[in-house]
Amino acid sequence: MTTALTHLQRLEAESIHIFREVAAAFAKPVMLYSVGKDSSVLMHLAMKAFYPAKPPFPFLHVDTTWKFREMIAFRDQMAQKLGFDLLVHVNEDGVRDNINPFDHGSNTHTHVMKTVALRQALDKYGFDAAFGGARRDEEKSRAKERIFSFRNAQHVWDPKNQRPEMWKIFNTRIASGESIRVFPLSNWTELDIWQYILQEDIPIVPLYFAKERPVVERDGMLILRDDERMKLRPGEVVENRLVRFRTLGCYPLTGAIESDADTLGAIVGEMLTARTSERQGRLIDRDEAGSMEKKKREGYF
């Protein structure tokens, strides 16, 4: 007789179900592809959900122009390998105004180059559903969000008035201009993600693995100096250290950790003994209390 599904099989089935539901019920879905490990898992699940067909929607990368170079190379390589339709959007207004994390701080930079850019892209293409890789275990306001999360025509999330979400019966009805953000990984934990990457042998950006990299210690974080745009402050030195990243974003805002974990097994092993949560490596969540909720209400993923 059939044995019960394993924990990962259950999570996988739930995610695939969500992907198919969106493909069946929406006119113009898109997958937000942020190139990180969660995106890699999301992409893998999308390939599974529609096999033997390709995912019936494009993948959108909102490029802040400050991503690690290795992320961009990996992105283009994956698009070619899997043959999905990759759209890249940059907020040209922000580029023109030279918005950057060093002069404007993480808040303004993220708002202009990520949140506003995302809204621009969604409006430009008229997407009515957008997949994101957010997980409920990441952060307190995310723990509160529905799998199918409604956005009004201004892309605003109203956390106090979310639609009830019963069983696996999703309300996919929206009026023109409104949209739904969909989170197939809602019920996955960070450990599940790594376990699944290991089990399915899913490619991820090499930055997750330990390697000697040129880093600068700044504001209590180790920042990888990915290009010359990062000017050194007095007293700062670039050192080669054995580091890796637990989470990936804009390089000036993403702290590395010292680690010698250079295999998936070692990463998981390190995680099991970790005493800090993964978002700690991100400056944006520390800016102020409730900062993630605020960003999400404005349209951030």
Partner 1 sequence: MRHIMAKSLAPTDDVRDYLATQEKKSLLRFLTCGSVDDGKSTLIGRLLSDTKQIFEDQLAALERDSRKHGTTGDDIDFALLVDGLEAEREQGITIDVAYRFFATPKRKFIVADTPGHEQYTRNMATGASTADLAIVLIDARQGVLRQTRRHSIIASLLGIRHIVLAVNKIDLVGFDQAVFDRIVEDYGRFSRDLGFQTIVPIPMSARYGDNVTSRSDKTEWYSGPTLIEHLETVSVDEAAVELPFRFPVQYVNRPNLDFRGFAGTIASGSVAPGDEVVVAKSGKSSRVKRIVSYGGDLAQAAAGQAVTLVLDDEVEISRGNMLVSPAARPQVADQFAANIVWFDEHALLPGRSYILRTETDQASATVTDLKYRINVNDFAHEAAKSLEMNEVGICNISTRTPIAFDPFAENRTTGAFILIDRISNATVGAGMILHSLRRAENIHWQSLDVGKRVRADMKNQRPAVFWFTGLSGSGKSTIANLFEKKLFATGRHTYILDGDNVRHGLNRDLGFTDADRVENIRRVAEVARLMADAGLIVIVSFISPFSAERRMARELMADGEFVEVFVDTPFEECARRDPKGLYARALNGEIKNFTGVDSPYEAPEKPEIHLKTLGKSAEEMVDTLEHWLNERDIAEDQYDSGGGI
Candidate residues 49, 113, 130, 197; the one interacting with partner 1 per rule CB under 8 A: 49
- Give yes or no for a contact between 244 and 274, defined as CB atoms under 8 angstroms apart: no
Which residues from 2-21 bind partner 1, rule CB under 8 A? Answer: 2, 4-10, 12-14, 16-17, 20-21
C-beta closer to partner 1: residue 6 or 77: 6
Candidate residues 72, 85, 187, 287; the one interacting with partner 1 per rule CB under 8 A: 187
Which residues from 200-239 bind partner 1, rule CB under 8 A? Answer: 220-222
Candidate residues 42, 293, 299, 301; the one interacting with partner 1 per rule CB under 8 A: 293
Which residues from 237-256 bind partner 1, rule CB under 8 A? Answer: 255-256
> Which string of DSSP letters, residue by residue, matches 67-123?
B-HHHHHHHHHHHHHHT--EEEE--HHHHHTT--HHHHHHHHHHIIIIIIHHHHHHH
- Give yes or no for a contact between 46 and 55, defined as CB atoms under 8 angstroms apart: yes
107 binds partner 1 (CB under 8 A): no
Candidate residues 69, 124, 168, 229; the one interacting with partner 1 per rule CB under 8 A: 168
- In sequence order, the 6+-apart residues with CB closer than 8 A to the CB of 134 are 38, 142, 145, 183, 185, 186, 301
The percent of the chain in helix, strand and coil, each rounded to the nearest 5, is 40, 15, 40
182 binds partner 1 (CB under 8 A): no
CA distance 203 to 264: 11
52 binds partner 1 (CB under 8 A): yes
Only one of the segments 77-85, 97-105, 121-129, 182-190 lies at the binding site for partner 1 (rule: CB under 8 A); that segment is 182-190
82 binds partner 1 (CB under 8 A): no
Tell me how crowded residue 47 is: count the other CB atoms within 10 A of its CB.
Answer: 16
Candidate residues 103, 166, 234, 237; the one interacting with partner 1 per rule CB under 8 A: 166
